[in-house]
Amino acid sequence: MSTDNVAKENEDFIYWTTIPVLVNHLNYGNHLGYDSYLSIIQEARMRWLKQFGMGEKTLHFNVGYFITKATVDYKSEAFYADELRVGLAIKNIKSKAFDMEYIIINNTRNDAVCATAKTSHLCFDFETKKVVNIPESFSRVLSNTSSEQPSAAAEIESLRSRL
């Protein structure tokens, strides 16, 4: 997923949150480590799910999801105590799977794009240990648009010139 694609194709970010760079996010170069981006997007995803009373293993009763693929495209550095703004978009909804795309922006350093990322998710019944369809209640959540969050469109527009 290129940065250009994030700006052009993902004008439907449905959730934004701010996450600080913590000391345990730093690597030997004293900046945000590549691997820590996965933790940061997981935190954003969990915050998004929490507002619906859901979790990664509790979308509906025993049904949750697991991640089948994760990619991160590193763009610029972030350092300890920087405030990162993370945008989350839902893409490619299928009967049993969906993708989430993210953009991570450094509020502290002139709104520089730090990274873009994508995770692919597969719904799973943790009791029966079988892949299952996306639960109807979660399907409704996935179908929500950015109209619920009026700031999302403005965020994308302001980022276009920075990508």
Q: Which CATH number do you get for residue 84?
A: 3.10.129.10
Instruction: Report if residue 65 sits inside a domain.
Output: yes
Domain span including residue 65? 3-158
Query: Which spans in the chain are helix H?
Result: 3-9, 36-50, 136-142, 151-160
Q: Indicate the number of domains in the chain.
A: 1
Instruction: Report if residue 53 sits inside a domain.
Output: yes
Q: What pLDDT is recorded for position 7?
A: 43
Residue 134 confidence (pLDDT) above 60: yes
For 5-34, b/e burial (b = at least 16 CB within 10 A) is ebbeebebbbbbbebebeeebbeeeebbbe
Residue 61 confidence (pLDDT) above 90: no
pTM recorded for the entire structure: 0.81
Residue-wise pLDDT for 18-48, tens only, equals: 999 999 999 999 999 989 999 999 999 999 9
Instruction: Report if residue 163 sits inside a domain.
Output: no
